[in-house]
Chains A and B, each alone.
Chain A
Amino acid sequence: MATQTAPLPLTEPSRRHATAVLHDWITTVDHKKIGLMYIGYALLFLVIGGVEALLMRIQLIRPENHFLSPLVFNQLFTMHGTTMVFFVAMPVLFGFGNYLIPLMIGARDMAFPRLNAFSFWISAFAGFLLYFSYIGGSGLYGGGGAPDVGWWAYAPLTSKVFSPGHSSDYWTLSVLLSGIGSIGTALNIVATALSMRCRGMTLYRMPLLVWLYTVMSGMVFVTISPLTAAQIMLLLDRYLGSHFFDTQAGGSAVLWMHYFWIFGHPEVYVLILPVFAFMNEIIPVFSRKAIFGYPAMVAASVGIGFISLSVWAHHMFTIGMTSAGNTFFVLATMAVGVPTGIKIFNWLATIWGGKVHFAPPMLFAVGFLFQFLAAGLTGIMLSVAPFDWQLNNSYFVVAHFHYVIVGGILFSLFAAFYYWYPKMSGRMLNTKLAHWHFWLFLVGFHVTFDPMHFVGLDGMVRRTFTYPVDRGWGPLNVIISIGALIQAIATLVFVYNLVHSYFKGALAGPDPWDAWTLEWSVPSPPPTYNFAAAPTVESRRPLWDLKHPEDPDTLYE
């Protein structure tokens, strides 16, 4: 094993001029730097999106509140949703993928480095464009031009008639551009995984993270494109007078819904598959056992990818589909729950009989396991169409998807941060701060999103800037808002840890967690060229084989 060395600073030695450093980062095609830029960019938008959420929660803390005008509130929930999905979740996941995949397969870089850089910069520009809408554009009521049509931008609300200013255009263009960036990165990931693996790494010896990112990228091709197409249609409607979604000319509002959700549902699986990937790497290492059932995990992931393409209209149970149509989508949605459940069982079996170390990555992984289980179950509830007839567009749905996205995806991302930060920076994140972060966030998360289920069951509708006094929803809303504040504080602790540890953290060395995949065989942070000599592997856990020559994985695979 390599000896512990002082980490190479992320930038060149400080003798270099600041502009030279800036030039280096702007023109880089190195997957590690691009990955870090994606991640940093996503963290910035996470904070912005979080502020948007806090503002909304202040407005909703009591009924008939006048903290925000209706227009500003409607803009906030539109921007919050759009930001979190397209400018936080997608970039941060692509960032981790970019950083880790070449390292995990023993490659020097991604398959198309320049495409990689292009994809990042077009996504970054898209985020900037969306927020430029606040100062550009000519909003209808003079409230600035930020979009206020909801992040689904349902037709005909987005037509020129109902959204005369440019706010809908900012939404459309920024999401369109970010979609192009996503397709570019997905293309890169598939090409890298198929064409750049080191000797001996057959597909069945690839780390599960690479498998999951490959399936996720394959999904991106058939998921993002429908939205791109629909957005082109929307732009044609708004600027060339076409009638795709023009109900006055015989067009269909429901057609937009189908197109959007053909994107929108698989999109959430696009987001969750990399999260499963992180769990597939972290849970085994901290349970000190190989992942239980690697082939089943591959099959379940591919299965989820395929089935999830057929469930989209469970977002449309209330639009008046026939009973047969509704029934089909109920079945498909429940079906996709089966491989998802299997993954949870496999994680349980991995932990079973192991030796669990509750280091920060594992703390967040445990949070993920329970919360994702609960989120999946509320999803099953919503898949029961008549139940959804009551609860669609209520706060129950808002609670469900935040349980998945915050309780599942964000917790898993935190785990990934604590796990791979040492590799990326050469230093360990502070454990005490990590514990503060974990417990504060856990409490804040549950204080917000557990009561939210109940206020939804009680009939509170989403996307409402206020609610009537006589419905009795006030007390729960107070609790929900307090939880948001707690989560904000926890996030600040996390950000502080990231910055503080970069300068003062303990040196990590190449393999602080005693892990088993190839990225832990190179220094922390890795040199630009990744591997001094291209590795050759013989099993799924090359470092396990090296550390346990008496009992290598090659005997069991």
Chain B
Amino acid sequence: MPPGTIISSTSSPHMLSAFAGFVLPPGSTSIFNPAGTPAHSIFSLSMLVLSITGGVFVVVGGLLLYALLRYRHRAKDPDSNEEPQQIYGSTQIELSWTVIPILIVVLLFLATARIIFATQDAPKPQNALDVTVVGHQFWWEFRYPKFGVVTANELHIPASDPQARTPVYLSMISADTDHSFWVPRLAGKTDVIPNRVNTMWIDADAPGLYLGQCAQYCGLEHAKMLLRVYAQTPTDFAAWVAHQQQPALEDPSVADGRAVFEHTACISCHTVRGTVATGTFGPDLTHFASRDTFASGSVPLTRQSLHEFIADPGSVKPGVLMPPMHLNDHDLDLVTDYLMTLK
């Protein structure tokens, strides 16, 4: 799927949601464009909340406006110099406008509590897929324990069949500072915190690309810690898994580049399965070239952009933790070509 594909909402039975779609263009990350169960239930709840709060604003604001206009001082009134009648209070009125807000609060609270429990305490089905998410400064690590797959920045999940939902359960922890996993069209966000495992689940209604980004300030390049979730049909997903389980492709035409890679400090931070590179500080590069983007979704993957990045990562993403490797031009070309073959 080409990067940046915008998926627009397919069906919106609710009248208000159609209104929301009109006011806001069908954005790639709008919360009013839900494409997964948690996002749908939050959307419905938000329509209720917006109606109630909107109603309160109209009523109270309207009364205020009326009072300000009706009771404004007019110099030409015959009694304009007299003070109006002083009213000090009324217990009945106070009671009524205490009771009514309390009733509204009770209603809102019950509706909210229902969704909280339905989302957080939803029973985990047998066929749920487990993915471990590790947040780093400033990239995402994804591990599929059942499949033995480790990848970075682009999360592939099977799209969920509406008849038999297959949610993906994310167990999340941070390797350094606080982060937050937010893909608005699929679900609300959950923070990714060191020394604490948080769990959330997502399920995508249909295959497609869903965008998001880190939503907890985590340091210099927080703004560039983007998320890309690829929901695929079960067949495509199985194919992707099978491919990712293979060790790195060995292309003899880039053997020189591979040699440069393996003799430089690259291997102390990066893993390329099937080679001597087993570092874990940086993203797994085994199938690096099979991704659409790199640098956590912020740069489309082309030979040119990769070349620039390896030469001086800080010029593309200042504050990135990968240092410049100080390769000469020749080695730089070789390494770039090598990495581009790691599909």
Residues of A within 8 A of B (CB): 69-71, 74, 141, 148-150, 154, 156-157, 162, 247-248, 250-254, 287-290, 292-296, 318-320, 322-323, 326-327, 330-331, 334-335, 337-338, 341-342, 344-346, 348-349, 351-358, 366, 369-370, 373-374, 377-378, 380-381, 384-394, 454, 457-468, 470-472, 548, 551, 553, 556-557
Give Cα A348 to B221, complex, Å: 48
Residue among A295, A327, A466, A551 with most chain B CB within 10 A: A327
Q: Are A392 and B112 in contact (CB under 8 A)?
A: no
**A/B pair count, beta carbons within 8 Å:** 274
Give Cα A494 to B80, complex, Å: 31
Cβ contact of B84, chosen from A354, A457, A459, A466, cutoff 8 A: A354
> B residues within 8 A CB of A290?
86-88
Q: Are B109 and A334 in contact (CB under 8 A)?
A: yes
Q: Are A327 and B116 in contact (CB under 8 A)?
A: yes
Q: Are A384 and B108 in contact (CB under 8 A)?
A: yes
7 of the cross-chain contacts (CB-CB < 8 Å) are A141-B318, A162-B219, A318-B190, A322-B120, A323-B117, A342-B97, A386-B45
Give Cα A253 to B211, complex, Å: 27
Q: Are B120 and A323 in contact (CB under 8 A)?
A: yes
> B residues within 8 A CB of A374?
57
> B residues within 8 A CB of A150?
217
6 nearest interchain CB pairs?
A: A389-B188, A459-B29, A464-B223, A320-B198, A247-B195, A293-B89
Give Cα A149 to B32, complex, Å: 31
Cβ of B214 within 8 Å of any chain A Cβ, yes or no, is yes
Main secondary structure of the interface of B (DSSP, over half): mixed
Cβ of B305 within 8 Å of any chain A Cβ, yes or no, is no
Q: With A141-B220, A157-B178, A457-B24 given, name 8 new contacts (CB 8 A).
A: A253-B195, A254-B196, A288-B83, A292-B87, A320-B196, A348-B60, A459-B182, A463-B217
Question: Which B80-99 residues have C-beta < 8 A from chain A?
Answer: 80, 83-90, 93-94, 97-98
Q: Are A386 and B112 in contact (CB under 8 A)?
A: yes
Do A377 and B71 contact each other (CB < 8 Å), given the known contacts A384-B45, A472-B27? no
How far does the Cβ of A93 sit from chain B's closest Cβ, in whole Å? 25
One digit per residue, 1 when the CB lies within 8 angstroms of any chain A CB and 0 when it does not, for chain B 13-43 equals: 0000000000111011111100000110110
Give Cα A148 to B86, complex, Å: 54
Number of B interface residues at 8 Å Cβ cutoff, please give it: 92
Cβ of B245 within 8 Å of any chain A Cβ, yes or no, is no
Give Cα A71 to B220, complex, Å: 6
Q: Are B73 and A353 in contact (CB under 8 A)?
A: no
Do A289 and B189 contact each other (CB < 8 Å), given the known contacts A384-B108, A464-B223? no
Residue among B41, B85, B188 with most chain A CB within 10 A: B188
Give Cα A322 to B117, complex, Å: 9
> B residues within 8 A CB of A465?
223
Give Cα A330 to B113, complex, Å: 8
Cβ contact of A392, chosen from B24, B109, B215, B318, cutoff 8 A: B215
Cβ of B72 within 8 Å of any chain A Cβ, yes or no, is yes
Q: Are A470 and B218 in contact (CB under 8 A)?
A: no
* Stretch in B62-70, B253-261, B278-286 touching the partner: B62-70
Q: Are B27 and A459 in contact (CB under 8 A)?
A: yes
Cβ of B177 within 8 Å of any chain A Cβ, yes or no, is yes
Q: Are B195 and A334 in contact (CB under 8 A)?
A: no
Closest chain B residue to A540, Cβ basis:
B88
Give Cα A356 to B24, complex, Å: 39
Q: Are B213 and A381 in contact (CB under 8 A)?
A: no
> B residues within 8 A CB of A348?
60, 63-64, 67
> A residues within 8 A CB of B80?
355
Cβ of B310 within 8 Å of any chain A Cβ, yes or no, is no
Cβ of B102 within 8 Å of any chain A Cβ, yes or no, is yes
Cβ contact of A342, chosen from B98, B109, B220, B318, cutoff 8 A: B98
Closest chain A residue to B102, Cβ basis:
A338
Q: Are A334 and B221 in contact (CB under 8 A)?
A: no
Do A356 and B71 contact each other (CB < 8 Å), given the known contacts A318-B190, A370-B61, A374-B57? yes
